[in-house]
Structures are given as structure tokens and as C-alpha cells.
Amino acid sequence: MLDHVFISVSDIARSIAFYEAALAPLGMVHTHDYDGKDGPRGHPDLKGFGANGRVFFWLREGVAEGRAAHVGFVANSKAQVDAAFSAAMSVGASQIHPPGAQLHYDPRYYAAQVRDPDGYSLELVYKEWQH
């Protein structure tokens, strides 16, 4: 199980605004900012997103390597996938694939996939058997 993920983004303000809107339908919020000076030497400033008392998705300003990562976010229903997809598209995401069953994985695997402004592949996923 993963505890946290950092991604580097080219414009921190733009990315915070994007993820605040795109992740809200999933119940994820921008919840914590970490000042790098409080960590070990060279630690980056971080902008944290999470849900249910956990912060697990972090943004740091730097060189974005969008094609280097794919992040899947859990949705609790097909409606949440649809809402998160719409929210992401409304704030500048580009579509990889619209919401729908991903039959190549399993007929109960429902997802949508977009690219954020830095080109990171984001998947919004509802897996019926995990709920």
C-alpha cells in the first residue's frame, strides 16, 4: 500500500487550482502545505491533497515530466468518476478516454482518463468489487 506520492509541476498555482477542482468530486481536498525549510536540507515545499484525515498526494514545483507518471484516484461510484472527469475537463484537462467500462480489464472496472496541464495521466477509477 502506498502512503504518498509527489509529482513535480511547472506552475504550482495553476496545478493547485486544477487539482482542487478536479479532485473535489472524489472528496479529496487541498488540505496541507509543507514548508521545505522545516525538513532536511533540500526538502521541497509541498502542497498536499487528501481525504479522510490522510494527506497522500503532493505537488512540488519543479521540472514536470508528465509522461513519467500515471496516477489512479479511487472513486466511490460511477457518478463520482463522471463528476471528476467533468470537473477536470472544465479546468483544462485533455481527454485520454471518457468515462465508461474498461472491458479490457473487467466489465466492473469503470474509469475515465485525462491529462493534467503538465501532461500527467490521471485515471478516475471505480472498481465495483472493491466497494
Q: Which domains does the chain possess?
A: 5-130 (3.10.180.10)
Give the per-residue pLDDT at 131. 80
- What span, in angstroms and rounded, lies between the C-alpha atoms of 126 and 67? 23
pLDDT of residue 1: 75
- Three cell numbers written together for 108: 466492473
Contact (Cβ atoms closer than 8 angstroms) between residue 110 and residue 100: yes
Please report the pLDDT score of residue 117 as a whole number.
97
pLDDT at 2: 84
38 burial (CB, 10 Å; 0-12 / 13-18 / 19+) is exposed
**Residue 55 pLDDT:** 97
Residue 66 in grid coordinates:
508528465
Using only C-alpha atoms, the chain has a radius of gyration, in whole angstroms, of 15
Task: Give the other-Cβ count within 10 Å of 102's Cβ.
Answer: 18
Quote the pTM value. Answer: 0.95
Sheet of 29-34, strand order: 5-9, 54-61, 46-51, 29-34
Which residues of the chain have a pLDDT value below 50? none
